[in-house]
Amino acid sequence: MAKTVKPDGHADTPVQCISNLLEKAQAASADEKDAYIAAALDLAKNLDDYLTETTTPASSSLRSMIDDTMTTDWDELHKSGKTKYHYTTNFCAGTYEAQFVATLCQLVNATRVLEVGMFTGTTAAAIAAALPEDGKVTT
């Protein structure tokens, strides 16, 4: 049976935990390597879900925008000539990315924001919701 390992208690971030586990795997015996690699992989695979679950929930309108973006067949739109470029859902900021940028705007008391590189507007919408009533987002 494979040994279960956990990152040591000194890591402050998930990336540091993964790094620690992989460094331990490099130094481990052949029998122990798989356990360290499996633990690092498990942490990496579940990181997005963890961040989404622990971040302030998206508003219903932002959630709808994200869902629409994630379920759009971007390959088909490109093949049919409806988009000039070949887009993927990876272009879309998810809940925690959008909320993080919105939080940064609140922390600096932003009233005007220039967003460069908008895809379907999820981050712009999150920023707009975080700005004061007279705030402005330019995309």
Q: Which two tokens stand for residue 139?
A: 């995309």
CA distances in angstroms from 62 to 18, 30, 65, 74, 111, listed in the order given = 31, 47, 5, 19, 20
Per-residue pLDDT, 31 = 87
Per-residue pLDDT, 51 = 87
Contact 94, 49 (CB under 8 A): no
Q: What is the pTM of this model?
A: 0.73
Bridge-based pairing state of the strands 136-138 and 112-114: parallel
Angle made by CA atoms 89, 99, 112, in degrees to the nearest 5: 105
Per-residue pLDDT, 1 = 42
Per-residue pLDDT of the chain (139 residues; tens, 9 = 90+): 445 556 665 777 888 989 999 999 999 998 899 999 999 999 999 998 888 888 888 999 999 999 999 999 999 999 999 999 999 999 999 889 999 999 999 999 999 999 998 999 999 999 999 999 999 999 9
Cβ burial, residue 55 (10 Å; 0-12/13-18/19+): middle
Per-residue pLDDT, 42 = 94
Per-residue pLDDT, 5 = 58
Q: Which two tokens stand for residue 39?
A: 């633990």
Per-residue pLDDT, 83 = 95
Please report, for the chain, the start and end positions of each structural domain, with discontinuous segments joined by +. 14-54, 60-138
